[in-house]
């Protein structure tokens, strides 16, 4: 059912875990639907210096989370925001059609984490003012 | 891809091998005795005898009052359709209310739903947390308008055996018929249609190690059904089409073997089942048994692990050579978790974390021990990755 690349990331997912002092955190999905993921990012010089994820979900959910962190690591925030769900699926050698919508949420989680980072930055700037 | 050469099949509910003795029995009817039982000549009469013999074996398995009460079909789905739609349509003058439960197989649910588009009213009765039918609500819903009550004998997903004797007593206080879907139970546990007061009973061949694509419907003497297939009038007019003699012969043989060896198999499987349940529940917190702890099929182990999802467990098991199945939405075509698990009161996320092991004749104690040994590392790995896992569980 899954491509070899998906199975590779499922078997040995990259960047799992939390970043306790993360600069941005994004959560998407819903355990009711069977998929929930949280992305943690550490930002340095406008680049994603570190990224980790936690995921509740199927094989595709775990593999897309892992692939997304791999793709985003080292990128500028602008570049990372351009990573789409389709890019993630393509990098994984495709996903079964039924999984394209329900389990391919990792790019959204990444974007949510970046937006969270921007929001925190704005808040910090406000305080300084 | 596989990281191991050891294999353990624990998904017998999805499909079973055909018993070699049943294969042996059917071969003659594929190769040399290929007559049509409707023909008067020797070859036809040979086939007719084989058909009658198989019918007798299936009738004996469920203690039917007479051999003719068995109607051969293409399997459990057709039997459920013929039993439900056939009884409802033919007896519409008796009433148009159908009662069933919320833990039925989809091949019962969908015919019942279909009938609601044809002027019938349907009620899906609730079950308790073990999946046992709420008898009080059956009493409440049953009325003079009720033609048919359809209840599963034993649940194929969570293993719970329903109180059929009690259900039958209640159903027959009114003018209704009782259809019982015994797909997962027939051949596994003793069923006596006379003692239980069953009017219509669905039986599957593959579930008792016969071939796929054949099944039967027991129709109590005197109950009239409307056929689904119209044609040459085979099977007393209830199932037109030349009988699938080779498969029916093998089904008959499988039924005979199931009856002969039932006691031994029940004992063996119950022992393995209980060892597997205990071994899976013991080492891990937040781990629960789905279905009834004692009133359950000897081959069914359905376990629920909190904070993780079923398909990821299945993939990990498959990587280690173990086949199982899951109640998660992620393994279904509809993207909905099992309606059976939801009916027992589980939340969606709890249903997603369910995994079913169904045992079979070829399982040995070492298979059970192998799976018991594998699960903790699989579950702990996925829990470590899950945002739902509570802090105290994290290493």
Contact B243, B51 (CB under 8 A): yes
Q: What is the CATH number of the domain that holds B88?
A: 3.40.640.10
**Residue listed under structure tokens 């159908």:** B98
pLDDT at residue B2, rounded to an integer: 47
What is the spatial distance between Cα B123 and Cα B112, in angstroms, rounded to a whole number? 9
Residues B347 and B249 in one domain: no
B201 in the same domain as B113: yes
Angle between helices B42-61 and B245-281 (to 10 degrees): 30
Beta-bridge partner residues of A103: none
**Number of compact structural domains in chain A:** 1
Are B225 and B317 part of one and the same domain? no
Together in a domain, B182 and B306 = no
User: Which range marks the domain in which residue B301 is found?
Assistant: 8-16+262-393
Size of the A and B interface in Cβ pairs below 8 Å: 74
Q: What are the average pLDDT values for consecutive 10-residue runs of chain B, which has 395 residues? A: 75 96 97 90 92 98 97 98 98 96 96 98 98 98 98 97 98 97 98 98 98 98 97 97 97 98 97 98 97 97 96 95 83 75 93 95 96 97 95 73
Residues B175 and B298 grouped into a single domain:
no
Which has the closest alpha carbon to A31: B315, B306, B390? B306
Looking at the fold, whether B227 and B121 belong to one and the same domain comes out as yes
Q: Mean per-residue pLDDT for A38-54? A: 97
Characterize the bridge pairing of strands B322-323 and B215-219.
Answer: unpaired
Q: Which DSSP helix (H) or strand (E) runs through B316?
A: helix B310-319
Q: Indicate if B217 and B358 belong to the same structural domain.
A: no
CA distance A54 to chain B (A): 5
B240 and B189 share one domain: yes
A58 among known catalytic residues: no
- Preferred mutation among B3, B326, B330 to probe A, highest tally of A CBs within 10 A: B330
| Residue carrying the six token digits 């992305």 | A39
Which residue in A10, A36, A58 is closest to B388 by CB distance? A36
Task: Domain count for chain B, please give it.
Answer: 2
Instruction: Tell me how crowded residue B6 is: count the other CB atoms within 10 A of its CB.
Output: 12
Mean pLDDT lowest among A53-67, A96-110, B98-112, B210-224: A96-110
End-to-end, the C-alpha distance of chain B in Å comes to 29
| A89 burial type by CB count under 10 A (0-12 exposed, 13-18 middle, 19+ buried) | buried
Which structural domain range is residue A61 located in?
A: 4-128
Beta-carbon separation of A56 and B388 below 8 A:
yes
User: Residue B290 has which token pair?
Assistant: 């789905």
Torsion region of B131: left, alpha or beta (phi above 0 gives left; psi -120 to 50 gives alpha): left
Same domain, B250 and B275: no
Q: Are residues B93 and B194 in the same domain?
A: yes
Active site residues of B: 330
Q: Which of B383, B386, B390 to mutate to test the interface with A (most CBs of A within 10 A)?
A: B386
Rounded to two decimals, the pTM is 0.94
Give Cα A91 distance to the centre of its chain: 14
Domain boundary among B226, B258, B290: B258
Boundary (domain end) residue, out of B258, B285, B312: B258
Query: So what's the pLDDT on residue A129?
Result: 66
- DSSP label at residue B162: P
CATH of the domain at B316: 3.90.1150.10
Rounded CA-CA distance B227/B82 in Å is 7
**Which of residues B204, B224, B258 is at a domain's end?**
B258
CB A77 within 8 A of CB A34: no
Give the list of residues 6+ apart from residue B192 with CB closer than 8 angstroms, or none: B62, B63
Q: Determine whether the interchain pair A34/B387 forms a contact, defined as Cβ–Cβ distance below 8 Å.
A: no
Contacts of B260 (CB under 8 A, 6+ apart): none
CA B40, distance to chain mean position in Å, is: 37
CA B391, chain centre distance (Å): 40
Neighbouring-strand partners of residue B127: B133
| Same domain assignment for residues B188 and B333 | no
Q: What are phi and psi of B384, to 5 degrees?
A: -65, -25
CATH number at residue A50: 3.90.1010.10
Report yes or no on B85 lying in a domain.
yes
| Residue in the structure block whose two tokens are 């068995």 | B70
Both B204 and B66 in one domain: the answer is yes
Residues of chain A with Cβ-Cβ distance to B387 below 8 Å are: 27, 36-38, 54-56
Using the Cβ of A40 and the Cβ atoms of chain B, whether some distance falls under 8 Å is answered with no
């Amino acid at each position: 059912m899954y491509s070899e690349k998906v199975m590779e990331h499922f078997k040995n997912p990259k960047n799992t875990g939390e970043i306790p002092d993360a600069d941005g955190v994004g959560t998407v999905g819903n355990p009711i639907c069977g998929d929930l993921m949280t992305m943690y990012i550490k930002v340095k010089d406008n680049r994603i210096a570190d990224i980790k994820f936690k995921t509740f979900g199927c094989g595709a959910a775990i593999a897309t989370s892992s692939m997304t962190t791999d793709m985003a690591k080292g990128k500028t925030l602008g570049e990372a925001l351009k990573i789409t769900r389709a890019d993630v699926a393509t990098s994984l050698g495709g996903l079964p059609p039924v999984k394209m919508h329900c389990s391919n949420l990792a790019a959204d989680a990444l974007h949510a984490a970046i937006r969270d980072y921007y929001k925190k930055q704005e808040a910090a700037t406000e305080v300084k003012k | 891809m596989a990281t191991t050469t050891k294999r353990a099949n624990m998904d017998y509910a999805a499909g079973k091998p055909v018993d070699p003795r049943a294969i042996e029995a059917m071969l003659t009817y594929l190769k040399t005795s290929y007559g049509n039982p409707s023909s008067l000549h020797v070859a036809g009469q040979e086939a007719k005898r084989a058909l009658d013999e198989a019918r007798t074996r299936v009738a004996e398995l469920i203690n039917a009052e007479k051999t003719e009460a068995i109607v051969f079909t293409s399997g459990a789905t057709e039997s459920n359709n013929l039993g439900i739609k056939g009884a409802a349509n033919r007896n519409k003058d008796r009433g148009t209310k159908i009662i069933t439960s919320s833990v039925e197989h989809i091949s019962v649910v969908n015919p019942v739903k279909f009938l609601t588009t044809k002027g019938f009213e349907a009620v899906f009765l609730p079950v308790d947390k073990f999946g046992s039918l709420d008898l009080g609500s059956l009493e409440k819903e049953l009325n003079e308008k009720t033609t048919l009550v359809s209840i599963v004998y034993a649940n194929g997903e969570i293993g719970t055996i329903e109180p059929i004797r009690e259900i039958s007593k209640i159903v027959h206080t009114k003018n209704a018929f009782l259809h019982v879907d015994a797909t997962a139970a027939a051949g596994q546990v003793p069923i006596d249609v006379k003692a239980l007061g069953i009017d219509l009973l669905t039986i599957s061949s593959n579930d008792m190690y016969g071939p796929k694509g054949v099944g039967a419907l027991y129709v109590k003497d005197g109950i009239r059904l409307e056929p689904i297939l119209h044609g040459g009038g085979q099977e007393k007019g209830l199932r037109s089409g030349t009988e699938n003699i080779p498969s029916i012969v093998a089904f008959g043989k499988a039924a005979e073997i199931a009856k002969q060896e039932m006691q031994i198999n029940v004992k063996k499987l119950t022992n393995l089942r209980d060892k597997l349940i205990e071994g899976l529940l013991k080492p891990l917190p937040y781990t629960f048994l789905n279905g009834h702890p004692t009133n359950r099929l000897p081959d069914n182990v359905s376990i629920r692990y909190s904070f993780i999802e079923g398909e990821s467990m299945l993939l990990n098991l498959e990587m280690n050579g173990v086949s199982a199945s899951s109640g998660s939405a992620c393994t279904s075509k509809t993207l909905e978790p099992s309606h059976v698990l939801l009916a027992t009161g589980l939340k969606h996320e709890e249903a997603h974390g369910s995994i079913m092991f169904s045992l079979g004749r070829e399982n040995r104690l070492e298979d059970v021990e192998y799976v018991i040994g594998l699960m903790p590392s699989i579950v702990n790995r996925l829990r470590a990755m899950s945002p739902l896992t509570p802090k105290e569980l994290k290493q």
